[in-house]
Structure 1
Amino acid sequence: MEYVGIVLISHSSKIVEGLKELIQQVITDVPIEIAGGTDQNEIGTSIEKIISAIDAADQGKGVTVFYDLGSAKMNAEMAIEMVDGNVRVVEAPLIEGAYVAAVESNMGKNLTEVCEAVEKEF
């Protein structure tokens, strides 16, 4: 079965590593990819990491993107312009939003349904 993928973006690689681990304790089939920190593994974000995460998370049903701070959103939007596929930045808290998205995706919902469920919650 294909699922809507999830990309977690944070200025800290540790934050998204921990969040991915937390979600995968409950949801194991949904593709969750992370883009944390800069290319030099410092605090910040990387368009290249975001693009790679989007590509890896995309199983053909689209990808949701969650971020921690404003500049991460800006880089996510630039990365989305550079990839093929159906990708949406979701306006929701990083932890809670990504968790709800994983649950909804795991139920086989499409990208629009996953995004609507998350946005309705928050």
Structure 2
Amino acid sequence: MSDDKQVGIVLVSHSGPVAEAVAALATGLAGGTSTAPVAAAGGTEDGGIGTSSELIAAAAAKVDRGAGIAILMDLGSAVLTVKALLAEGDELPEGSRLVDAPFVEGAIAAVVTASAGGDLDAVEAAAAEAYTYRKV
């Protein structure tokens, strides 16, 4: 799959630095020269704690390559903000999808899968599978 048709990933956190760090970690672990487009949408426009529909929409537009967009969130109100954007229907690019997955592990799995050329269904499945990762 060519770079221009990769699934985009948007990482939504209540904290700008957290979203940026998870994006950097996932991108770094995906490696390679054709890493999927990833954008962080953390915090509010003024740098505060919270979520911003404007930042999320801008991040989605930035990573849109026509193959869909997987949106992963950290906490409750981020989920509600993304759901509201999806319900409005015109704020996010076509093919945008809320992905229910652990934020860090799911982001890594999503970026690795998208970078390997996986479609949106495969990216969502890989991210959701992160719920089964055991640490002990």
Q: TM-score, normalised by structure 1?
A: 0.93
Identical residues among aligned pairs (%): 35
Partner Cα distance (1:24, 1:119) in 2: 18
SS at match of 1:25: helix
Partner Cα distance (2:19, 2:130) in 1: 21
Instruction: Indicate which of 44, 49, 59 corresponds to 2:50.
Output: 44
Partner Cα distance (2:17, 2:94) in 1: 27
Q: How many residues are treated as equivalent by the alignment?
A: 122
Instruction: Indicate which of 95, 108, 117 corresponds to 1:99.
Output: 108
**Contact 2:60/2:93 (CA < 8 Å) preserved in 1?**
no
- 1:15-26 matches, within 5 Å, as 15-26=18-29
Instruction: Indicate which of 71, 77, 83 corresponds to 2:77.
Output: 71
Q: Which has the larger radius of gyration?
A: 2
Segments of 5+ residues of structure 1 without an aligned counterpart are none
1:59 is matched with 65
Deviation >3 Å, runs of 4+ = none
Q: TM-score, normalised by structure 2?
A: 0.84
Deviations 1:54-80 (A, max 9, x none): 111111100001111100011112223
CA RMSD, 1 decimal: 1.3
1:13 is matched with 16
**Offset, 1:85:** 0.9
Instruction: Indicate which of 110, 113, 116 corresponds to 2:119.
Output: 110
Partner Cα distance (1:23, 1:106) in 2: 11
Does 2:114 align with 1:119? no
**Contact 2:8/2:70 (CA < 8 Å) preserved in 1?**
yes
Segments of 5+ residues of structure 2 without an aligned counterpart are 132-136
Larger displacement relative to structure 2 (59-68 or 18-27): 18-27
